[in-house]
Amino acid sequence: MVKSASFSCSACGAVHSKWSGRCDACNAWNTIIEDVPLSAGPKGKSLGARRGNGINLTDLATQEPPPPRTISGMDELDRVLGGGLVPGSATLVGGDPGIGKSTLLLQAAARFAQAGLPVIYVSGEEASAQVRMRAQRLGLGDAPVKLATATALRDILTTLETETPGLVIIDSIQTMWADNVDSAPGSVAQVRAAAHELTTFAKRKGSSVILVGHVTKEGQIAGPRVVEHMVDTVLYFEGERGHQFRILRSVKNRFGPADEIGVFEMTGQGLAEVANPSALFLSGRGDPAPGSVVFAGIEGTRPVLVEMQALVAPTPHSQPRRAVVGWDSGRLAMILAVLEARCGIPFAGLDVYLNVAGGIKISEPAADLAVAAALLSAREDAALPAQAVLFGEISLSGALRPVSQTENRLKEAKKLGFTSAIIPAGGKPGGTGGLSLTRMGDLTGFVGEIFGAG
């Protein structure tokens, strides 16, 4: 009988022959756990040696009706879920501590319960009285949500088996404790076991399960990346501290589009939905200022306008600073390099700061042109026309490349009172959305046209 290596890293999956504090494959700390054999079957024999029950095979042509979804009535949440909650689905909601996960899910619990779904909210962090007080303060005191404070998973599952609710919210997965796993609550092994038990329960009984997970500073759900693979849907609740905006983003969804966002605002009365995020992100934008431009972006299925702000200042240091909030720093370096190499505009000896206003994170390459424009505008100390939006991808050659959903972006800009747009030449001919368009083939042309330099 072969004695197999019995430790593996829960972060990267590397197999180790002995335990250690740090995985030497991915350098993560405290992620190595013992692989406990699950069952006491005939050891050492391959699975094929003894016959199982067989599985049912089917074909691709069978028509499945779409899953019946429950709508909470919170549009921003329903859309991110892919059009409502799917029965039997498991969802992970991750986010920094204090960002508002419990608030969001308490409000969602109340709305789903009011929509007729039996809801159980299990808090492992707050006493029932605390949750009840919060609910009453949010005006949700009479929603038919069943509430419990518990961390012992066996007890929780026993109750769930008899109640079979339509939706169970577990806040948070890190506080759950499975007594068949020999490690402390919050450890990777515990979180993995608890998530496994709860997702299996969801599939077996057709109850939807929402797990709350706290995220570490590096943006990982503390330890258990594995949970992301077990669930059907992974949502992140994010936002900058000091900003009232909160964004619920789907990063994985077996029942809908990924990368969809829902926008909320944290108020004294809980989270308020923001139906028109562009207006919110652009609010507080004053007169045209150098370094400020408006980018017409797409988040998920929705156009969103955001303000890009740049500041360029001479530095006394030999190594100038490049600081970015809300965008990719590698992409900023690329645009600075293209501006320097293709347009002859150097940024050496200059500190560069780039900020996406409102605390939203942009990941679209379509923002390249807006970033370049903000940088140039800051460097030349010349404001762009206030009523113009920009978008377009910049290639390393300095060419501007067309991006998707041009017309949707233009329409959103029109809706918010913009009158002109600077966009890449080429691409599919489409409507102008009622804006006057300036089409540019490359960055050099853009610099010449807008700043009269080159």
Residues of this chain that interact with ligand TYD (CB under 6 A) are: 95, 97-103, 134, 138, 266, 268-270
d(CA 249, CA 305): 17
Tokens of 275: 């139906």
Distance in Å, CB of 8 to ligand TYD, minimum: 30
- Cis (ω within 30 of 0) for the bond into 172? yes
- Token pair for residue 126? 């707050």
Identify what 99 binds: Mg ion, ligand TYD, none; CB under 5 to 8 Å per kind: ligand TYD
Minimum distance, C-beta of residue 244 to ligand TYD, in the bound complex (Å): 8
Kindly tell me which of 102 and 250 has the beta carbon lying closer to Mg ion.
102
Please state the closest distance from residue 211 (CB atom) to ligand TYD, in A: 13
Q: Which residues lie across from 112 on neighbouring strands?
A: none
Question: Of 221 and 312, which CB lies nearer to Mg ion in the complex structure?
Answer: 221
Part of the chain binding Mg ion (CB under 5 A), chosen from 99-107, 136-144, 242-250, 370-378:
99-107
Cβ nearer to Mg ion, comparing 216 with 397: 216
Q: Return the one option of Mg ion, ligand TYD, none that residue 103 interacts with (CB less than 5 to 8 A, by type).
A: ligand TYD
Cβ-based nearer residue to ligand TYD, 46 or 267: 267
Q: Which is nearer to ligand TYD, 175 or 292 (CB)?
A: 175
Nearer to ligand TYD, 97 or 144 (CB): 97
Closer to ligand TYD at the Cβ: 147 or 425? Answer: 147
Half-sphere exposure in the Cβ direction for 385 (13 Å, CA): 13
**CB of 99: closest distance to Mg ion in angstroms?**
9
Decide if 49 contacts 40 (C-beta within 8 A): no
Beta strands at 167-171 and 208-214: parallel, antiparallel or unpaired: parallel
Handedness of CA 70, 278, 284, 250 (dihedral sign): positive
CB nearer to ligand TYD: pick between 108 and 354: 108
C-beta of 255: minimal distance to ligand TYD in Å? Answer: 24
Cα 4 from chain centroid?
38
Min CB(17)–Mg ion separation in Å: 39
134 binds, among ligand TYD, Mg ion, none (CB under 5 to 8 A by kind): ligand TYD
> Which of 102, 151, 207, 405 forms a contact with Mg ion (CB under 5 A)?
102
- Name the binder of 441 from ligand TYD, Mg ion, none, CB < 5-8 A by kind: none
In whole angstroms, give the CA distance from residue 129 to residue 370: 49
- DSSP secondary structure code for residue 281 in this structure: H
Q: How far apart are alpha carbons 120 and 399 in whole angstroms? A: 55
Enter the tokens of residue 418.
């913009």
> Nearest to residue 108, comparing CAs of 129, 88, 93?
93
Minimum separation from the CB atom of position 125 to Mg ion (A): 6
Minimum distance from residue 126 beta carbon to ligand TYD (Å): 8
Considering the complex, what minimum distance in angstroms separates the CB of residue 209 from ligand TYD? 17
Closest CB to Mg ion among 239 and 297? Answer: 239
Alpha-carbon distances of 439 from 63, 82, 283, 425, rounded to whole Å: 46, 35, 27, 5
Q: Count of residues for the chain?
A: 454
Task: Write down the least CB distance from residue 124 to Mg ion, Å.
Answer: 10
Residue 415 interacts with which of ligand TYD, Mg ion, none, CB < 5 to 8 Å by class: none
Q: How far is the CB of 78 from Mg ion (least distance, A)?
A: 22
| Cα–Cα nearest to 422, from 443, 398, 453 | 443
Q: What does each C-alpha distance from 377 to 235, 312, 380, 442 come to in angstroms? A: 36, 9, 5, 17
Residues 6+ apart with CB under 8 A from 364: 297, 298, 403
CB-CB neighbours of 308 under 10 Å: 26
User: How many residues contact Mg ion, by CB under 5 A?
Assistant: 1
User: Segment contacting Mg ion (CB under 5 A): 27-35, 102-110, 281-289, 442-450?
Assistant: 102-110
Q: Which does 290 bind (CB under 5 to 8 A by kind): ligand TYD, Mg ion, none?
A: none
Rounded Cα distance, 16 and 34, in Å: 9
Tell me the window of 72-80, 101-109, 215-223, 319-327 that interacts with Mg ion (CB under 5 A): 101-109
91 vs 102, beta carbon nearer Mg ion: 102
- CB under 5 to 8 A by kind: which of Mg ion, ligand TYD, none does 331 bind? none
Residue 358 interacts with, from ligand TYD, Mg ion, none (CB under 5-8 Å by kind): none
Binding-site partner at residue 100 among ligand TYD, Mg ion, none, CB < 5 to 8 Å by type: ligand TYD
Contact partners, residue 264, CB within 8 Å, separation at least 6 = 76, 100, 104, 245, 246, 247, 248, 271, 272, 273, 274
Q: Which is nearer to Mg ion, 121 or 391 (CB)?
A: 121
Q: If DSSP codes are grouped into helix, strand and coil, which group holds residue 189?
A: helix
Residue 269 DSSP class: T
In what order do the strands lie in the sheet containing 302-314? 322-325, 350-356, 302-314, 292-299, 388-390, 420-424, 436-440
The contact set with Mg ion (CB under 5 A) reads: 102
